[in-house]
Amino acid sequence: MTHKKIVVSLCGGTDSAYLSCLDAGIDVSKDGEYEYHTFETDKYASAVSRYQIPHAIHHGDANGWDKLKGRDVFLLIAGFPCQPYSVAGKQLGTSDSRDLSEVMYDALEGLNPEFYLFENVESKAKFDWLTRINLIRRQKGWSDAQMYTHDSAKVSAQSRKRVYITNIPHNELADQGIVLQDILEDDSMTDRDKSYCVDANYFKGGSMKMYFEKSRRQVVFNDKGHPHWDKCKQVGEADLKGYDIIKRVYSRHGKSPTLTTMQGGWRMPKVETDKLHWRALTPLECERLQTLPDLWTQYGEFDHKHGYLGEVRPISNSQRYKMIGNGFTRAVISHILEGVYT
């Protein structure tokens, strides 16, 4: 029996990498040229992948990559967990139990892929990753990998800098001019062109303090009276020095909230809390930030291990936020993979 060449996604999540392959002309469809294999332990992300890509071969734990030894691997792609390296965490690196960098190295050496692509957060550890990968490659007589830093802001409405280590040559991203206002479901207002990075903790919710003082957990403003949203509308600017954001006067029903003395490093505007209204981004809007199809994460098909064999069930918003925040920006991966055929 002749086997197809395979594409392997370690830590596949909801498998936006599958979509990127198709975007780039790597045919991993059901009857396509390549067979798509994915490894993921999160039951919700795996359920989404099974629902969206039923013909993919789902393996579970990335430590089981060696079951594919001997197969002809065309592409190995991995966005290994960023938590051990993110500035939002303790940055324990390889001492963190969640770190899978060694699995990535072992899979690269053991599977001998024709092409590979690894992604993670901007971190001082990036030089260690590149050094280890190139040691493996030199031992096998391969050319060195290259390291790139791309910001998703070029191809989406989200500022999201990530490091990509690959042997796929490609050009810089071209700016598509997409802004946050473009991806909203309604006519809510934004105070910036690019969203702050949406991470796996977005589901925990935000606050105006977190948004304005810590530059985290993007919010938007609305004056349409949705019963579950806080709303605000800018009606003018205060005569103040400093950032534009601290000058803004917000109103509900056309009247400005009272401004009081501004103090502290950020000199934040003080407004009556019952007059300043806002909302978080919806899961669908977060999907758009990651350039996923609308509602990609809305449903999942669960396997027998989790008691719902073949049953399609809706995914909770909290789990959707987690898996979206943990994933790739599809358009960035698509751009890099296009280099396979150039």
Q: Comparing C-alpha atoms, which of 32, 45, 41 is closest to residue 6?
A: 32
Residue 118 belongs to what H/E stretch? strand 115-121
- Split into its structural domains, the chain has a count of 1
Q: How far is CA 218 from CA 42, 179, 201, 289, in A?
A: 25, 13, 12, 11
Is residue 332 in a domain?
yes
CATH of the domain at 138: 3.40.50.150
Q: What is the pLDDT of residues 270-307, one digit of tens each?
A: 343 345 478 899 999 999 999 999 999 999 998 766 55
Q: Strands of 49-102 (E only): list them.
A: 57-60, 73-78
Residue 231 has pLDDT above 90, yes or no: no
Residue 236 has pLDDT above 60, yes or no: no
Residue 300: the pLDDT is: 96
Between 1 and 173, residue with greater pLDDT = 173
State the residue range of the domain holding 123: 5-178+311-317+325-341
Residues 6+ apart with CB under 8 A from 310: 301, 302
Alpha helices in the chain (DSSP H): 16-23, 43-52, 101-111, 126-139, 208-214, 244-247, 283-289, 317-325, 330-337
Residue 4 has pLDDT above 80, yes or no: yes
Is residue 27 in a domain?
yes
Is residue 219 in a domain?
no
Is residue 258 in a domain?
no
SS3 label, residue 129: helix
Residue 120 has pLDDT above 70, yes or no: yes
Cβ atoms of residues 323 and 42 within 8 Å: yes
Residue 126: the pLDDT is: 72
Q: What is the pLDDT of residues 139-178, one digit of tens each?
A: 878 888 899 999 999 999 999 999 999 999 999 999 999 9
Residue 240: the pLDDT is: 52
Is residue 336 in a domain?
yes
Q: What is the pLDDT of residues 192-228, one digit of tens each?
A: 999 999 888 888 887 788 888 888 889 998 765 444 4
> What gap in Å lies between CA 160 and CA 153, rounded to an integer?
6
Is residue 184 in a domain?
no
Cβ of 114: how many Cβ atoms within 10 Å?
12
Report the chain's mean pLDDT, rounded to a whole number: 81
Is residue 136 in a domain?
yes
Residue 253: the pLDDT is: 41
SS3 label, residue 312: strand
Q: Comparing C-alpha atoms, which of 240, 217, 215 is closest to residue 325?
A: 217
Is residue 233 in a domain?
no
